[in-house]
Structure 1
């Protein structure tokens, strides 16, 4: 997984916080503003249509008053009681009605200037018609048809009803007729009707004062869903009126949205309690929600500008934090390489300034401490070298001392024997002894701790036996049972011959007999290489053996003489061999002795299987 830089993380998380904050504020603000504006629009349209309905009801109530005056007029009631063929009564009462109509209308002509016609029709077929200026005579065949329609449409309780019809065909669709049934003079039953026609164009002026926008319109429907009025630029079809009717109840206002002619529109409808008309206002949703769109656009623009500025500030803020940290990181890398680099604090007093100050203080103290450690280490190494040099000199002196402690009696006796031979006779034995002696001396005087092979040590033992045979005037052979594969194994110089000499001196104190034997063996195992010298001599007494083993364990040179005399005669040689091996291979190696009185002794030289010579 790819690791993101600290500045990237700061910028990323700042971006998330900023985007979430702006998005939350923007969305919540937009949603709440949209809801508030929608509610305000609905309230505005509801108030607007309530006002229009109120003005319309007042307008209609004015005509109702006029209708009441005609319905309660005694001449009108008497007109409904005349016979169908009674010409005189018709003329008299129609004249009275005309006079009453002229006086009623002319007195309030400014109020009723949108009046289209007033007509009184009886069930006997007699009628009086006034068109706001003149009294008309219409085709008698039209009256029965209109009369039947109007009588069926008007309620029997003498309440008014508003109809989208006209007594004259040319006025159809441009006027509204207010109809009421009227009882006759005897009040027994309804004998006729009074109808007042008024122009919708004049009524529409009330609704035109309502601000419904450029693409809004206002229309009126009756109880049956038929159009009573609609503006000229709006031509609703029956499907439209049917859909609107399905959304409007009889007892409440209704706000709904639907799609009409490919445009989403809001409809607000109200049923007039007076006229039972349904007044409907329609406006496009886009126009209604234009403020919301403006809010959305402004919110988006302001949000984007704010986001860009916030991201720029976040990026700058991230760099201001990360830059000192990066510089501190690079300085730490240099510090790892041993380059003590101090950072410029630039007068910072914040947490990063404190961190840089602490880093500079740490670098200063580390530099001082490391200098002190280096100086102490140099002094310590210098002292250690001096101690090692002194120890090396001591070991060299000790080693040389060990070599110089070889028992000189053998050399003196040998020289004396050679001298005797030289005086008594001229013999080849002298030559043989001299050559063997020369080899031994040459081999012995080498004072370094160079590792040599078993074969070299065996050759040194052979030269020793040559000289010994001439001294004792008797041949003696040592049994060498070392496997040939081990003859080239490494061991320490001058360790095998002193043990052989010790055996001749102490194992056979009464002289060498034919049954006496000395054997040399070697083997490997458990990471050790062992050379074993074994004889069948008199052995070592337990007390003497214990003293010898203790001396070997203490790693002490046998410099002092003891009452036993054992060390005077052989202990020095054994301790020299033991010490030689330890000085070459380590303290865990050396010489060990096993012996049983009367049965012989066993000397074991223990060395590592794969020797790693010490540096001396």
Structure 2
């Protein structure tokens, strides 16, 4: 009976509070959970980035060590000395120490991060020369020695402590942990000379782990191929988590089923933490970053409390305004729900015909805009997917291994030189340089010297087909050779000169292509002239009009296109896009006499200077 006596307004307010309270609780829980997951994601991303930086450092150090070992292997005098079967006299030993061993020592000085360079020789005629040359017997009992010999010259990486086999050299004490590269030296092939050892302190090999720069919420660990765990003793996070490196390792290997980069969460005595891992394949090592989630947990709970308080306060405030408009809101809201159900089933053509400037009206307007945007995005997605498939197909058709082509051409060139076919060798050289110039497009700008050399290679190749009837005259003062030009500016012009200007006159005379350079106070003009058939005035006017108006007509498009796929119009347009409309191409021709193309560019030195050199 009490309920019957309550006013309708209070019933609506009470119902509104009850209905709103449950979603608010769920919303609060989900928001705090999403914030927590977002914080975890941010922590993972941040620490993955840290591991990536450390992995880059490791790869650089690996390359430094490998390069140092290779330079020792490549030292011919060193190998000749080591393989000698007779004992050296004092003069020979001094000569080796001054002229050869000093070069090996210099490698260490050139790379300060390198700790030691050791060579363990099996030659009984060679005396130990500290701190580089040692007797191989010192390492014969090492656990890795026999395995290294079975690798047939391939490298082996180990994390070990110096002093285990170098006692009586410095000290019998075991030294700090180091990253060591071991490699067997054979010279000649299958003739064992000894073992090369290049070492680097872990604090240099893992610079970020030992940098000491962290926020106290993470600690980096390294697990080597022998499952030894290496840490920076200055970091104390594991102590705060009441755990130890070995426990972290055991947890990691229990859940890590393969050598891949993974992220794992653990809890130790109600203290949560995160492990972000990265596998370094070259040296069979796992790089781990242990991140404490304590602060993230605390911040999540704090945000959850604030949201609860704010939500309850909002419910109280909103309840005061619900009675007069709740029926209208529910009516329009139910209509929106029905429309959105149709959208959920895939009908994006629904018409949300709810107008007004209130919340529901604005929401309806946003839904209309959203549906329009969704339809537009669906259409764009279909078009982009089709374009992507087409691009992937084109990329697959045109994919080529440039290094394979360069090496193949170099081999063919050497075969031609061996057979005495120097003309073929020179032609292949020119072709290889052209391919390298075309395929290695690392930047849009090159020097005038590079562009002219590219044209010379093109002329040399064309002369093979045209019985050396093409001549290439270059009149460029040396001060202009560093002028900046767009790459592939000249080749379309020269190709047009050969294909459409010179081929028809080569049976009567030699074809000549000349390049001259002159300048004024701020611009440089590059003049490319041929003595071909030329053009009549109507063709010249049409071609000039096409360049000025920025159009390509069907009658001349075949002449304006070159084998490289960049026509005269494209060259003209590229120049204007980069330098402005006052620059570009100008064409002059006399029928039966010549065709001249003048390329106007601003005076810019490729090295970065501006203006003309004196």
TM-score, length of structure 1 as denominator length: 0.43
TM-score, length of structure 2 as denominator length: 0.44
Q: Computing the radius of gyration over CA atoms, which structure comes out larger, 1 or 2?
A: 1
